[in-house]
Amino acid sequence: MAAPLVVPGAGPGGRAPTVAVLAGGLSHERDVSLRSGRRVAEALRGTGAEVTVHDVDADLVPALRQLRPDVVWPLLHGATGEDGSVRDVVRMLGLHLLGSGPRASRLAWSKPVAKTVMARAGVATPEHMALPQALFRELGARPVLDLVVEHLGLPLVVKPSRGGSALGVTLVASRDELAGAMVECFSYCGTALVERAVVGTEVAVSVLDTGTGPVALPAVEIVTDGPYDYDARYNPGRTEYFVPARLDATAQAAVAELAIAVHTTLGLRHLSRTDLVVDDDGVPWFLEVNVAPGMTETSLLPQAVEAAGHDLGAVYRALVDAAASGA
Amino acid sequence: MTTPPAPDRTTSGTPTSAAAAGTRLDPWLASYAARTGGMRASEIRALFAVANRPEVVSLAGGMPYLARLPMDQLADIAGRVVAERGLVALQYGSGQGDETLREQILEVMRLQGIEAHPDDVVVTTGSQQALDLVTRVFVDPGDVVVAEAPSYVGALGVFRAYQADVVHVPIDADGLVPAALDETLTELAAAGRRVKLLYTVPNFHNPAGVSLASSRRPQVLEIARRHGVLVVEDDPYGLLGFEGEPRAALRSMDDEGVLYLGSFSKTFAPGYRVGWVVAPHAIREKLVLASESAILSPSNASQLTVSCYLATYDWRSQVKDYREMYRERRDAMVGALADHLPSATWTVPEGGFYTWVRLPEGLDAREMLPRAVTALVAYVPGTAFYFDGRGADHMRLSFCYPTPDRIREGVRRLAGVVTAERELVELFGATGGGGSPAVQAPGPDVA
């Protein structure tokens, strides 16, 4: 029997926590982050928490110094929000951070690093190369790309080594498409992650920890009529979601175990979302993990929370309470 | 938290049995009209969210520089409108628009040689609504609208919404090419296509920055007349020329075959959302009915405020002030392009807000946009201004909003982006995968 996520109600008579939600920033995912921030702020206010929403700009540090909120929750997707730097700032201010700390964020933020760490921990992850633009400048594009295809085969996935929302991601089916995919990828990021594409069921597993240990929520299966690209993620209707994923019990347990292994191995805190593919043999392959998963109307973590029978506000509040108590 | 996972707590809650059908997060998916089929969430629009940050030099938006407006006087005007005429200003109004304002609009249009009667004018919620009304009244799904190549993104959005097919006609430094227009209309007729409208921005074109030469204006009207095609003259920038007198509007030469769309958005302020359309009697009746069914009546509060501004403030001086400021910014823009981006080519607009830049060979403006945003500069990729996916080799740069120093800084940043992108394209011998769709709705950022 699976133990449920512990979502304690707000205790009677306790002071309402003050929460500073950080949203926006200068990353390519600013828009998504603003939406995530609004959704979370709204849900938390419904629990009685006092929430302020802050952009990441020159006003932030003075505002946090003055407010001294009980908890700072970075809902920043991409760049300084996920690379650990804003989290460093929160720590330097001596404030409680909701979510992963700076060092763990840095591990997760770099997809090649996260994959390497997880591979060493014995988790299956598609074979990959991390190829900076500078390498092509030195060796030329054609010989390196030929070698990549010889070594990894086709199809391949090309994605920026950092960043989310599928920006700059291309599924490459033939050698001819590879150069264009690299150009698109390098428009977003100086290093491309090129990995063997695993065919199978795409799922995302969210992990939450409200202070009693990490718990995996039901896996969300993603089915699109094309790539799970930006439009498929944020245009309701484009993508069909199955929660829980249509996996047999063994595979369900395996993906949950994998997501928790990622969460614990990388030292993540409070919440994370691991994206993976389950191949036709039922083997889950780790793709990437997000320390600031999307919280929009169409995002995967909120869907998983609701599918597990929990109220979003109550879960967010439980995370805030855990963070406030230093858990 | 660092405890290894215990097998008995890997899933939370008791989910209901796996659903046979998944969810698409939208219970009304089967109910949408066919015309919504092309609506997509665009990463380009998402990138524009970053462009609003002050660190970014946005050469993307078409926002007028409102800091030049006499805000104190406008506050007085707004106060007077409510204090003295509140019962009218805050009430429903006429579907056709306030009569006094319609008379004042005639005065504005007279600067471009347009003679009309107040009854010919329909006030709309920005000229964007006029565009919507005209399209609603004339265009059935599958009908053809002929437009310049490139054309205003907001118009393309309206045409797409009404399921029109847009056929582009080439332009050059003197605007629409009459021979090409004639040829296109002849071909469309031969193919049995129904061409309903010729949509044109004859003055200081958005995005191309060019104007239709005076000598070509009668030719364009003659060709349209001969092919039985109604001309929609969209003219938000006509009074914002940097040199000489405003050119005579197409409508001044033909009051039966031209619908004239005007706006206070660029010459005064877009926040009031006051525009208008001038139409022959029969068409105008239909436009009024269509407008009433859409919005009942345009905002009286806005109309009376604009009307009071026109009556009590030296609005001609305001337009002159705008013109001089925008000319200075145009100069900063083309000067900076010459200094920093000699590998590109661009139009030198004689008015309006935009220059149209052709990128060096092989570059794709859509693919380059994320790099530009990273470098804290934004523009609108040329694909936004075509119905058919062309335009990736161009970008629109606006000089209306940033100060001259910011414009120079923006172009300097852009030059760095172009250099990096060129290196990339030369390295790989390819442009990107072309995954990013065009901008499909104007959005306040690109209007």
Domains of chain B, with CATH numbers? Answer: 43-68+317-446 (3.90.1150.10), 71-312 (3.40.640.10)
pLDDT confidence of residue B56 = 94
pLDDT confidence of residue B446 = 57
- Measured between beta carbons, the chain B residues lying within 8 angstroms of A4 are 12-14
User: B87, exposed or middle or buried, with CB in 10 Å at 0-12, 13-18, 19+?
Assistant: exposed
- Measured between beta carbons, the chain A residues lying within 8 angstroms of B5 are 214, 257, 260-261, 264
Task: Assign 3-state DSSP to chain A and report helix, strand, coil percentages, each to 5.
Answer: 40, 20, 40
Indicate whether A57 pLDDT > 50. Answer: yes
pLDDT confidence of residue A168 = 87
Instruction: Express each pLDDT in B158-212 by its tens digit.
Output: 999 999 999 999 999 999 999 999 999 999 999 999 999 999 999 999 999 999 9
When pLDDT is cut at 50, 70 and 90, the band that residue A39 belongs to is: very high
Between the two ends of chain B, the Cα-to-Cα distance in Å is 51
When pLDDT is cut at 50, 70 and 90, the band that residue B2 belongs to is: very low
> Which of the following is catalytic: A99, A275, A316, A321?
A275
* B427–chain A Cβ distance below 8 A for any pair: yes
d(CA B194, CA B145): 9
Instruction: Answer yes or no: A29 catalytic.
Output: yes
What sign has the CA pseudo-torsion B414, B415, B420, B424? positive
Separate counts of helices (H) and strands (E) for chain A? 12, 13
pLDDT confidence of residue B37 = 76
When pLDDT is cut at 50, 70 and 90, the band that residue B25 belongs to is: confident
> Which of the following is catalytic: A234, A269, A316, A321?
A234
Residue B424 to residue A133, Cβ atoms within 8 A: yes
- The single residue listed with the structure tokens 């399209």 is B135
When pLDDT is cut at 50, 70 and 90, the band that residue B298 belongs to is: very high
Domains in chain A (CATH in brackets) are 107-125+198-308 (3.30.470.20), 128-196 (3.30.1490.20)
**Looking at beta carbons, which pairs linking B314-317 to residues 24 or more positions away fall under 8 Å?**
B315/B267, B315/B268
pLDDT confidence of residue B11 = 40
When pLDDT is cut at 50, 70 and 90, the band that residue A318 belongs to is: very high
d(CA A301, CA B12): 13
Nearest chain A Cα to B422, which residue?
Answer: A183
What length is written for chain B?
A: 447
When pLDDT is cut at 50, 70 and 90, the band that residue B41 belongs to is: low
pLDDT confidence of residue B9 = 33
pLDDT confidence of residue B445 = 53
Instruction: Express each pLDDT in B232-283 by its tens digit.
Output: 999 999 999 999 999 999 999 999 999 999 999 999 999 999 999 999 999 9
User: A212, exposed or middle or buried, with CB in 10 Å at 0-12, 13-18, 19+?
Assistant: middle
For A187, which of B14, B41, B371 is closest by C-beta distance? B371
- Write the DSSP string, B327-380: HHHHHHHHHHHHHH-TTSEE---SBSSEEEEEPSTT--HHHHHHHHHHTTEE-E
For B431, which of A180, A237, A256 is closest by C-beta distance? A180
d(CA B349, CA B330): 8
d(CA B22, CA B24): 7
Indicate whether B351 pLDDT > 50. Answer: yes
> Which of the following is catalytic: A273, A299, A317, A321?
A273
The model's pTM: 0.89
| Spatial contact of B321 and B105, defined as CB atoms under 8 Å apart | no
Instruction: Express each pLDDT in A117-166 by its tens digit.
Output: 999 999 999 999 999 999 999 999 999 999 999 999 999 999 999 877 77
Closest-CA distance of chain A to residue B50, Å: 6
Residue B10: DSSP 8-state:
S
The rounded mean pLDDT for chain B is 91
When pLDDT is cut at 50, 70 and 90, the band that residue B386 belongs to is: very high
Residue B22 to residue A242, Cβ atoms within 8 A: yes
For B368, which of A24, A187, A217 is closest by C-beta distance? A187
pLDDT confidence of residue A18 = 97
pLDDT confidence of residue B6 = 35
pLDDT confidence of residue B22 = 85
